[in-house]
Amino acid sequence: MAIRHFLDIWQLEASELREILNLAHSMKAARKGWPKGRVDEGAPLDGHILAMIFEKSSTRTRTSFDVGIRQLGGTSIVVNSADMQLGRGESIGDTARVLSRYVDMVMIRANDHGDVEDFADAASVPVINGLTNRSHPCQIMADLLTLEENGLDLKGARLAWVGDGNNVCSSFIHAAPKFGFTLAVGTPDRYVPDDDDIELAREMQGRVELYSNAEDAVAGADVVIADTFVSMGDTDADERLEELEPFAVTEELMDLAQPGAKFLHCLPAHRGEEVDSEVIDGPNSLVFEEAENRLHAQKAIMRWCLDK
Ligand code: CP
Ligand code: NVA
């Protein structure tokens, strides 16, 4: 069997993505009310080691993967890339070949998406993308799990992304054709999503609509999604905050969506910038369920990668 990397949502079959979400739903239900440190029934990844490499900061990804592998019966090693020989010129390929001799699976958060692809090409164990400049696929799996738990049928649903057409937005674009929802994206011209992502989704018959204002994107949406206006690695914070300000999610903007429309944000959030407190702390916000579901979705992703 080919090595099962989890690098981008567009690379998996819709049936495989469905299988992962179903597994996440059932594993979450099976351990309802358990202490967080108890190992899942059958310890499906008993004896397996996950290495995590971080080139950028993380609260959720780091903790949820670490807890997740333990709940599956395995163990983890977390490394800051600056502490590795990578920083002194060792190649990505050699690093991948060496780590593949020690561990069963590697999760990487990197600045450059190409580095994660190069790592996966050289690795002989599964590699998981824990966020790059281009995408954040684990986040979107957790988000879709959250929406389904809250009763949304993804097929035919209308999701609105407003703000920066960034890495998280790209993974939503990749997911639209796979799960059958429409994604309406509202961004300023300067911060539109990458053309390649739009083209990719449309080649897969994805329904992705682009708007140059937040109001048209949000009109009639079942879900409104925001993210920071300044991602890790962005160097033009002042320009971004000014240009993206009209794309902030306010209660007035939410009023244009379906009554009771849900609000998502991958966190960390900046109240008063991309979203108002009344929205993110309001009754239709799912942000903390979303954060919890990183754990459940990623456990299913790790099991899929190892076919266990
Ligand atoms: N949403 C997310 O990936 O959070 P962290 O940067 O804290 O991992
Ligand atoms: N778009 C954000 C997501 C953080 C989880 C970033 O890349 O910094």
DSSP 8-class letter at 285: B
- pLDDT tens digits, one per residue of 92-122: 999 999 999 999 999 999 999 999 999 999 9
- pLDDT tens digits, one per residue of 11-68: 999 999 999 999 999 999 999 999 999 999 999 999 999 999 999 999 999 999 999 9
5 counts as catalytic: no
Distance, CA of 185 to CA of 210 (rounded, Å): 5
Distance, CA of 121 to CA of 133 (rounded, Å): 19
User: Taking the domains of the chain in order of start, what are their residue ranges?
Assistant: 9-135+294-306, 151-285
Distance, CA of 117 to CA of 250 (rounded, Å): 38
Backbone angles phi, psi at 75, to 5 degrees: -135, 170
What is the per-residue pLDDT for 276?
Answer: 98
31 counts as catalytic: no
Among 54, 162, 166, 229, residue to substitute to test ligand 2 (most atoms within 8 Å of Cβ): 166
* pLDDT > 70 fraction of the chain, expressed in percent and rounded: 100
139 counts as catalytic: yes
Task: Provide the CATH topology of domain 151-285.
Answer: Rossmann fold (3.40.50)
CA 143–ligand 1 middle distance (angstroms):
13
305 is in an annotated binding site: no
Rg (CA), the chain: 19
Reported ipTM: the value is 0.99
What is the per-residue pLDDT for 52?
Answer: 98
Please provide the CATH number assigned to the domain covering 9-135+294-306.
Answer: 3.40.50.1370
Mean pLDDT score across all residues of the chain: 98
Domains 9-135+294-306 and 151-285 share a fold: yes
212 is in an annotated binding site: no
Q: Looking at the predicted structure, is the pLDDT value of residue 253 above 90?
A: yes
Q: Looking at the predicted structure, is the pLDDT value of residue 87 above 90?
A: no
Dihedral sign computed on CA atoms, order 77, 83, 84, 87? positive
Mean pLDDT, range 170-181, rounded to an integer: 98
What is the per-residue pLDDT for 1?
Answer: 85
Distance, CA of 83 to CA of 15 (rounded, Å): 39
List, as one string, the DSSP characters of 18-42.
Answer: HHHHHHHHHHHHHTTT--TTSPPTT
| Cα 126 to Cα 3, 49, 67, 145, distances in angstroms | 6, 12, 19, 22
Measured from the alpha carbon of residue 130, the closest ligand is 1
* pLDDT > 90 fraction of the chain, expressed in percent and rounded: 99
Backbone angles phi, psi at 21, to 5 degrees: -65, -40
- pLDDT tens digits, one per residue of 124-140: 999 999 999 999 999 99
Answer yes or no: is the C-beta of 60 below 6 A from any ligand 1 atom: yes
Backbone angles phi, psi at 129, to 5 degrees: -80, 115
Q: Looking at the predicted structure, is the pLDDT value of residue 201 above 90?
A: yes
User: Strand order of the sheet with strand 223-226?
Assistant: 207-211, 182-186, 158-162, 223-226, 262-265
Distance, CA of 30 to CA of 175 (rounded, Å): 26
| Cα 10 to Cα 69, 136, 138, distances in angstroms | 25, 12, 12
Is-contact 278 251, C-beta < 8 A? yes
Q: Whose CA is nearest to atom 1 of ligand 1?
A: 266
